[in-house]
């Protein structure tokens, strides 16, 4: 359907109209009349033919638009299908990946749970074993402690017994030496060719001025190598007197001789034959004894 209007615009005339096609798409136009072909025919004939040409072009254009629209719709539908397909595939892939991750995670979790269970069982077993060992060690230590306590008590008793025996042994040794004397300063070899006891008896009588020759059970030099070298001190003589009173007389005479210049310058010295422990005790008491003597105080040794 075509509608045409002829208008006067600014001194020129134009042809305006509206055409509706089969798709009901409006199409408007405005053509100056000067552009229309002018022939001998009348204006209505020219406009009719021109309108027919325009309608033909418009139909072609509408057909192209319709085709483009259909193609666009088809392409849109295809894109939509592709999108839906991609979405479905992506969803399936995501579900598959999620399922795989879930399965792997579940498998790893189960593996970790199994390892944790094994570790827990191992720890429990180790704890039980350690507890058993601890109990065994505690029992052993308790037994050892009791044994040590018993041994300590026995050791103390043994120490007391040893001390008692040592004192008894020392007392016996001191008693066995109560008739002994030591003579220092007798030249090495002076007794050769004589009995040592007879030689020492004569020497004591001569040096001490005894009225009778003392009776000696035995006499010998102390143990050790013979000292014949120049300047080497001779070995001491250990002498056992048969009578205790004779030994005391010899020591008394020796002390009296030590107080004289001749005795101090003499070559022999006579001492009681004490044990090493008694000598150590006498040495420890020497300073106090000298102090008492310096103060002119009388003292005596107390023996237990």
| Domain region containing 50 | 2-78
159-186 residues labelled b (16+ CB within 10 A) or e (exposed): eeeeeeeeeeeeeeeeeebebbbbbeeb
User: Considering the domain boundaries, does residue 129 fall inside one?
Assistant: no
User: Considering the domain boundaries, does residue 33 fall inside one?
Assistant: yes
User: Considering the domain boundaries, does residue 135 fall inside one?
Assistant: no
The C-alpha atoms of residue 292 and residue 285 are separated, in whole angstroms, by 11
Q: What is the pLDDT of residue 200?
A: 92
Give every residue of the chain whose pLDDT is below 50, as ranges: 1-27, 29, 31, 33-41, 262-264
Q: What is the pLDDT of residue 24?
A: 45
Q: What is the pLDDT of residue 68?
A: 87
Q: What is the pLDDT of residue 263?
A: 47
219 phi/psi in degrees, rounded to 5: -155, 135
Q: What is the pLDDT of residue 227?
A: 74
Looking at 59, 78, 97, which one is the last position of a domain? Answer: 78
Please, what's the largest Cα pairwise distance for the chain? Answer: 210
User: Considering the domain boundaries, does residue 262 fall inside one?
Assistant: yes
Q: Which helix (H) or strand (E) holds 109?
A: helix 43-176
Q: What is the pLDDT of residue 158?
A: 95
User: Considering the domain boundaries, does residue 251 fall inside one?
Assistant: yes
CATH number at residue 232: 3.30.70.1820
User: Considering the domain boundaries, does residue 198 fall inside one?
Assistant: yes
Full-prediction pTM beyond 0.75?
Answer: no
- Closest Cα partner for 4 from 26, 21, 22, 28? 28
**pLDDT tens digit sequence for 52-97:** 888 888 888 888 888 888 888 888 988 888 898 888 888 888 888 8
Looking at 78, 93, 127, which one is the last position of a domain? Answer: 78
Q: What is the pLDDT of residue 245?
A: 93
Q: What is the pLDDT of residue 12?
A: 43
User: Considering the domain boundaries, does residue 187 fall inside one?
Assistant: yes
Q: How many domains does the chain have?
A: 2
Q: What is the pLDDT of residue 163?
A: 94
User: Considering the domain boundaries, does residue 17 fall inside one?
Assistant: yes
């Amino acid at each position: 359907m075509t509608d045409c209007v002829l208008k006067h615009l600014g001194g020129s005339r134009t042809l305006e109209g509206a055409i509706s096609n089969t798709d009901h798409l409006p199409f408007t136009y405005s053509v100056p009349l000067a552009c229309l072909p002018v022939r001998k025919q009348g204006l209505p004939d020219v406009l009719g033919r021109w309108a027919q040409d325009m309608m033909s072009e418009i139909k072609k254009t509408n057909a192209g638009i319709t085709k483009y629209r259909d193609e666009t719709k088809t392409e849109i539908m295809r894109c939509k299908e592709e999108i839906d397909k991609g979405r479905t595939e992506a969803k399936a892939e995501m579900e598959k990946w999620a399922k795989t991750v879930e399965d792997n995670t579940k498998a790893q979790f189960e593996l970790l749970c199994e390892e944790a269970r094994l570790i827990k069982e191992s720890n429990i077993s180790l704890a039980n074993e350690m507890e058993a060992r601890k109990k065994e060690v505690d029992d052993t230590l308790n037994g050892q402690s009791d044994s040590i306590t018993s041994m300590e008590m026995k050791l103390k008793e043994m120490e007391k017994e040893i001390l008692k025996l040592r004192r008894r042994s020392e007392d016996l040794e001191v008693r066995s030496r109560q008739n002994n004397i030591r003579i220092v300063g007798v030249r090495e070899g002076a007794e050769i060719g004589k009995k040592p006891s007879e030689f020492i008896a004569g020497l004591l009588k001569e040096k001490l001025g005894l009225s009778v020759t003392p009776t000696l059970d035995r006499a010998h030099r102390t143990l050790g190598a013979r000292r014949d070298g120049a300047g080497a001190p001779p070995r001491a003589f250990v002498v056992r007197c048969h009578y205790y009173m004779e030994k005391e007389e010899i020591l008394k005479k020796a002390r009296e001789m030590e107080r004289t210049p001749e005795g101090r310058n003499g070559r022999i010295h006579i001492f009681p034959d004490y044990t090493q422990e008694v000598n150590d005790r006498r040495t420890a008491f020497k300073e106090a004894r000298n102090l008492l003597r310096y103060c002119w105080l009388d003292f005596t040794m107390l023996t237990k």
